Structure 1
Amino acid sequence: MVVPELRPWRAARPHVVRAANAVRPRLARAAGAVRPGLTRAKDAVRPQLARTVAAMKPQVTRLTRIPGPKTVRTWRYAAGATTAGLALAATVATVAGPWDSSGQRTAERDRAAALERTGGADHGDDPGTAADTPRPAPSAASVLIGLGAAGNSVKSAPTGKALADVLGPLLGNTALGARRTAAVVDVATGRQLYGTGAGTALTPASTTKIATAVAALSALGADHRLTTRAALEPDTRELVLVGGGDPTLTARDDTDGWASLRELARDTAAALKKRDITTVTLSYDKTLYAGAEMHSIGVNDNLAPVSALMADEARTDDTASGPAPRTTDPAKDATRTFARLLSDNGIRTTAPGPSKATGRAETLAEVSSPPLSALVERMLTNSDNDIAEALARQTAVAAGQRADFQGGGNAVRAQLKKLGLPLSGADFHDGSGLDRADRLTANLLTSLLVKAGDPAHPELRPVLTGLPVAGFTGTLTSRYTDGAAGVVRAKTGTLTGVNTLAGTVVDQDGRLLAFAFLASDTTNPGAAQSALDRTATALAACGCG
């Protein structure tokens, strides 16, 4: 894959000025709100981020039109970093992909919040998202600034020998266990620059979510939404709450943009009262998904039973991410909550039971999730297993396959095959990577990241923008605090005896590199995690061209 050279700054300047004027007020307010927290962190990240800004100054990414129901031209500031990392407007990077309603996500807000919390273990501690409301992934230093590497102002790609000299000793660390594999690829050209055992399939743990994200976005599109609805059977006046597979449906007061069960209850009650109905038989329909709801790991705080109908990921506490106790019957529990909300709006119901809405049922009200792009970003940033399993099953539904664990895995594989990705040795048994029977290669993981940066596939860009930012967001919030903070973006993976890391860095020569490191048979997870972090940091610091 050869990426076109970036347009000269002079040609892009008028557009940059207009974009700057459009977002300046919001940026000023955001900067004012977070200035105290940013000041505390600036010394930790200044050296790395200053080098990144220097590398990106000569470059401006080309404009890209986004396919979808309506073609939209989006702008984003590439966030270089002055104070506390990721200050705005070093240059403009038009990374194609859907964004929030403001068109701009700033890392300052997330960094300020991150300073007040800890966490980051992939399947253990809270990944660092505020407990009260889920937040979308932020924009940090532009994820694609290195795509101009074929241009005149950036040095050539690192050589295999130079990378081997840097990475070899670090990957040889005994903390990485008996088996370890690695690959480094130049995203601009798709050329592998370094590999050791890159075609050997190992247990990927949560880096599996990268594959799930690419498959779901490819099959469904970045604008796809998951809809929950209330339908009334015309003959029996049975009200059926129909699950559309949205695990982010929330019953909380502050929805922060996610689909609201409270809103659905209000709208449903209003529609019933217009029909002079104040008492209904209440049922729920979770038949969109098939098969067993319980993952092979059994009851586990990292994953609720996988159901097409749930609220707040079936959590029994007020958290929005990370491990938490879950209800054993998410659909029934969500419908009980719906019944209570209907009662608050003057509608009496029977105790809910399972059912299936007929084709004649009239939809009274519905609520939809944010676009799939936002779900993917939340999944990757927080390593959200519930969203991952939902997206695997949604991919199966789109492909006409049975929407169970194996069907989701088969659908993911089939979708990646359509994209021409290297699947030798790969095996998918779920969407989250919690199943130890999953197998991925370093070749496949880096190919997925390269595909997500391909200008021909802008719908896949949330795979890159959703990657946690080292030292700032999600599962990397408490990692890299004295290393490549703000420079490394990567998905973590952790199971007993397994440590993995896959993501992107912009090296010292300004090239965007995709990497994947997989280690099996590790005995000290903390030491293995640190070894992987040091390896990624060394890659970011490499001027090996």
Structure 2
Amino acid sequence: MDEPGKRPSVNPLDKLVGLARRGGTIRLKGLNDRQFTAVSAGLGLVLAAGVVLAAGPWDSGQRKAETDWAAARSGTGGAHHEPAGADTAPSAPPVLAALSAAVDNSAPDARTAPDGAAAALRTALGPLLKDPALGTRPAAVVIDTASGERLYGQGAGAPMTPASTVKIATAVAALSALGPDHRIPTTVRASADFRGVVLVGGGDPTLDKAALRRMATDTARALKERGIDKVRLGYDTSRYSGPARHPIGPNENIAPVSALMTDEGRLDDTDSGPAPRSDDPARDTARTFARFLADAGVATGADPKPGRPATGSRKVAEHRSAPLSSLVERALTNSDNDIAEALARQTALAAGEPADFDGGRRAVTARLRTLHLPLTGANFADGSGLNRKDKVTAGLLAGLLARAADPDHPELRPVLTGLPVAGFSGTLSDRFTGKSAGTGLIRAKTGTLTGVNTLAGTVVDRKGRLLAFAFLASGTTSPSEAQSALDTLATTLGTVR
């Protein structure tokens, strides 16, 4: 089955959180001073994120933890937390070089960096890319995010099926179009005589029952102030258009795409991974809202009916989602298909396109074009990567990550902070474990479909540089062997001198 997922077990960050609570020591072997500084900072972020994630909901989680951690460190030297005169890692320049320069992609990129990194990467990565576990003609690109220099490229311009790594493109487009502070509204509107009420979906897949109950309480209060204790209830999903069902059909990895849903249409108590899904999440949400209205003393009589608010209606209740930055982080960390499809549709709405699969494709493509990224051969058939018609190049994926590191685009930073941490969080919680040199050092988005395995993210090399990478493999026959080969490639980037 495409995009197989796993239910989360024990929080993979517990081992760090518990260690800190017991006063334990984390030892990182085989790292030089520059890498140790970078990795220590990264693990500090992971630990802070773990503490907050253990204490509360996602929207007060990783982003807040990283902000608080950075603020706590501000008294120790500003941007660089090293003793005076230390050999610090390079920071990004004011402007990142354009990533769309023409390159011969028929063979590994022959351009050389001043320190010979390109030659070293050719020597290290070339043999690894010949691993049969990577299928036929795997593609790879490595970019130094500080200079914008492409240090390595094999098949860099070949369009390939990205699986869930396409979520990186979806996230970049949404953040660029709407900004990290954008929140998706869900509202309740009452008719002029307050005898009819409509629950209006804005496209927030993370709307939960607690928020729905608060809206019902606010609605009941407004009605009772006018002496009304019985209403007609409708629900509006017109914000989105086109087919609700993803082309892969009914699937536990994604609910029907609707502007109105609760808990991503999940029928169990999970918040990530595969789960039984509602066939009609909008109707189910409206029915739950009706029950909450009844609990608050307002009856609705008949079953809720689809429909739009009447002319002259007024808003009586509203809930806004977590900021887009948090939604992006959650989508990338957990490879959340429902949020990813919502991000694509929100991008379409911002562009004035219909909020359907085709509108999302056009809007995401147009938005990425404004960032001067290499889009030749790209096709964004959906926002999640479940559709095999999605096509991107390794050059585009690595370029997206480099753009997210660009100081001129701080709005894109949640793309980097949302990447799973190797061996600790999200879809990388059970990879790079044990004695892997990549544990805690690599942050990357995974991608898995039958016969397709991909990995795109960032790693700090032994010179202290932040490298963006993308590895795409197709025609794979063993997911576990392919993932292991990809992990080896990413780990090797951190060890090349």
TM over 0.5, shorter chain: yes
Deviation at 1:458, TM superposition (A): 0.6
Mapped to 1, the partners of 2:176 and 2:241 lie a distance apart of 22
Task: Confirm or deny that 1:194 pairs with 2:147.
Answer: no
Amino acid at match of 1:237: R
Match in the other structure for 2:447 = 493
Deviation at 1:261, TM superposition (A): 1.1
Question: Aligned with 1:489: secondary structure?
Answer: strand
Q: For residues 231-282 of structure 1, give each alpha carbon's deviation from its aligned partner in whole angstroms, at most 9, with x where no partner exists.
A: 0011472100000100000015xxxxxxx11211111111111121111100
Mapped to 1, the partners of 2:343 and 2:92 lie a distance apart of 33
Match in the other structure for 1:174 = 132
Mapped to 2, the partners of 1:136 and 1:516 lie a distance apart of 27
Mapped to 1, the partners of 2:169 and 2:366 lie a distance apart of 11
Alignment CA distance shift 1:393-1:149 (3 Å)? closer
Describe how 1:439-478 pairs up with structure 2 within 5 A.
439-478=391-430
The question of whether the paired residues in 1 share the 8 Å contact of 2:133 and 2:478 is answered with yes
Deviation at 1:358, TM superposition (A): 3.6
Q: Which runs of 5+ in 2 are unaligned?
A: 1-12, 71-78, 81-88, 95-112
The question of whether the paired residues in 2 share the 8 Å contact of 1:492 and 1:502 is answered with yes
Alignment counterpart, residue 504 of structure 1, candidates 441, 458, 467: 458
Q: Which runs of 5+ in 1 are unaligned?
A: 1-29, 57-78, 89-103, 114-129, 253-259
The question of whether the paired residues in 2 share the 8 Å contact of 1:149 and 1:512 is answered with no
Alignment length (residue pairs) = 445
Match in the other structure for 1:208 = 166
Match in the other structure for 2:387 = 435
Match in the other structure for 2:471 = 517
Alignment counterpart, residue 48 of structure 2, candidates 89, 106, 113: 106
Match in the other structure for 1:302 = 253
Q: For residues 343-377 of structure 1, give each alpha carbon's deviation from its aligned partner in whole angstroms, at most 9, with x where no partner exists.
A: 11111113101001245211001010011111100
The question of whether the paired residues in 2 share the 8 Å contact of 1:149 and 1:510 is answered with no
Mapped to 2, the partners of 1:470 and 1:226 lie a distance apart of 31
Match in the other structure for 1:255 = none
The question of whether the paired residues in 2 share the 8 Å contact of 1:230 and 1:364 is answered with yes
Describe how 1:43-54 pairs up with structure 2 within 5 A.
46-47=28-29, 51=33, 54=36
Alignment CA distance shift 1:307-1:49 (3 Å)? farther
Question: Aligned with 1:279: secondary structure?
Answer: coil
Deviation at 1:32, TM superposition (A): 13
Alignment CA distance shift 1:32-1:443 (3 Å)? closer
Mapped to 1, the partners of 2:24 and 2:395 lie a distance apart of 36
Deviation at 1:296, TM superposition (A): 0.4
Question: Aligned with 1:494: secondary structure?
Answer: strand
Mapped to 1, the partners of 2:495 and 2:19 lie a distance apart of 29
Amino acid at match of 1:313: E
Task: Confirm or deny that 1:241 pairs with 2:227.
Answer: no
Q: For residues 144-201 of structure 1, give each alpha carbon's deviation from its aligned partner in whole angstroms, at most 9, with x where no partner exists.
A: 98551779xxx96552111011111111110000121000000001110000000001
Mapped to 1, the partners of 2:156 and 2:221 lie a distance apart of 58
The question of whether the paired residues in 1 share the 8 Å contact of 2:205 and 2:264 is answered with yes
The question of whether the paired residues in 1 share the 8 Å contact of 2:165 and 2:455 is answered with yes
Task: Confirm or deny that 1:269 pairs with 2:220.
Answer: yes
Deviation at 1:31, TM superposition (A): 12
Mapped to 2, the partners of 1:158 and 1:197 lie a distance apart of 21
Match in the other structure for 1:363 = 315
Alignment counterpart, residue 34 of structure 1, candidates 2, 6, 17: 17
Alignment CA distance shift 1:49-1:374 (3 Å)? farther
Mapped to 1, the partners of 2:175 and 2:334 lie a distance apart of 18
Alignment CA distance shift 1:240-1:442 (3 Å)? same
Alignment counterpart, residue 425 of structure 1, candidates 377, 395, 417: 377
Match in the other structure for 2:271 = 320
TM-score, normalised via structure 2 length: 0.84
Mapped to 2, the partners of 1:221 and 1:194 lie a distance apart of 31
Alignment CA distance shift 1:500-1:331 (3 Å)? same
The question of whether the paired residues in 2 share the 8 Å contact of 1:290 and 1:404 is answered with yes
Alignment CA distance shift 1:535-1:340 (3 Å)? same
Task: Confirm or deny that 1:407 pairs with 2:359.
Answer: yes
Mapped to 2, the partners of 1:479 and 1:299 lie a distance apart of 29
Match in the other structure for 1:349 = 300
The alignment-based identity, stated in percent, is: 56
Alignment CA distance shift 1:509-1:359 (3 Å)? farther
Mapped to 1, the partners of 2:166 and 2:445 lie a distance apart of 9
Alignment CA distance shift 1:105-1:359 (3 Å)? farther
Match in the other structure for 1:329 = 280
Question: Aligned with 2:378: secondary structure?
Answer: coil
Deviation at 1:50, TM superposition (A): 7.0
Match in the other structure for 1:338 = 289
Task: Confirm or deny that 1:536 pairs with 2:478.
Answer: no
The question of whether the paired residues in 1 share the 8 Å contact of 2:17 and 2:47 is answered with no
Match in the other structure for 1:231 = 189
The question of whether the paired residues in 1 share the 8 Å contact of 2:16 and 2:47 is answered with no
Mapped to 1, the partners of 2:484 and 2:53 lie a distance apart of 22
Alignment counterpart, residue 336 of structure 2, candidates 384, 388, 411: 384
Question: Aligned with 2:327: secondary structure?
Answer: helix
The question of whether the paired residues in 2 share the 8 Å contact of 1:240 and 1:285 is answered with yes
Mapped to 2, the partners of 1:233 and 1:508 lie a distance apart of 64
